[in-house]
Amino acid sequence: MLTMIDIGIDNAVAFTLSGKVTEDDMKRVLMDAEAKTVDHGGIVIYEEIDSFSGIELAAIVEELKYLVHAGLKHITQVAVVADASWIEKVVKVEDALFRHIDIKYFSFAQKQQAITFLQQQ
């Protein structure tokens, strides 16, 4: 289940995730990203992952369609909050791959630091 949240940053696409990402979940996130890109130009992303049990193929297709249409150039920072070492490793790989996006991992105890990081855009 994916729930959109407000972290007090106008251009932030923020959500919590627990379980599997569905096509509808992905559409919600991408619609919010598109709207905030139109309003603000650049966006930041806050992901709070309680648990992750996979992603539907249709959700991946939606994300790929969005990336082909919009690209990644409007995303400036990503904060991933979780308490899983494998997610931390994935975040490090993503940060190395997407050099123009500042991607950082934070534990749940560091939630406020994650938000502060995104405010420093």
pLDDT band of residue 82 (cuts 50, 70, 90) is very high
Distances from the Cα of 46 to the Cα of 58, 83, 117, 120, angstroms: 22, 15, 10, 13
Q: Count Cβ atoms within 10 A of the Cβ of residue 12 and give its class: 0-12 exposed, 13-18 middle, 19 or more buried.
A: buried
Report pLDDT digits (tens) over 88-111: 999 999 999 888 899 999 999 999
- Phi and psi torsions of 4, nearest 5°: -75, 140
Give me the percent of the chain exceeding a pLDDT of 90.
Answer: 77
Please determine, for residue 68, whether its predicted confidence score (pLDDT) is greater than 80.
no
Domains annotated on the chain, with CATH: 2-119 (3.30.750.24)
Give the mean model confidence (pLDDT) for residues 46-63.
91
pLDDT at 71 over 90: no
> Rounded distance, CA 16 to CA 3, Å?
5
Question: What confidence tens digit (pLDDT) does each residue in 28-50 have?
Answer: 999 999 999 999 989 999 999 99
Residue 92 is predicted with a pLDDT of 95
pLDDT of residue 15: 96
Is the pLDDT at 69 greater than 80? The verdict is no
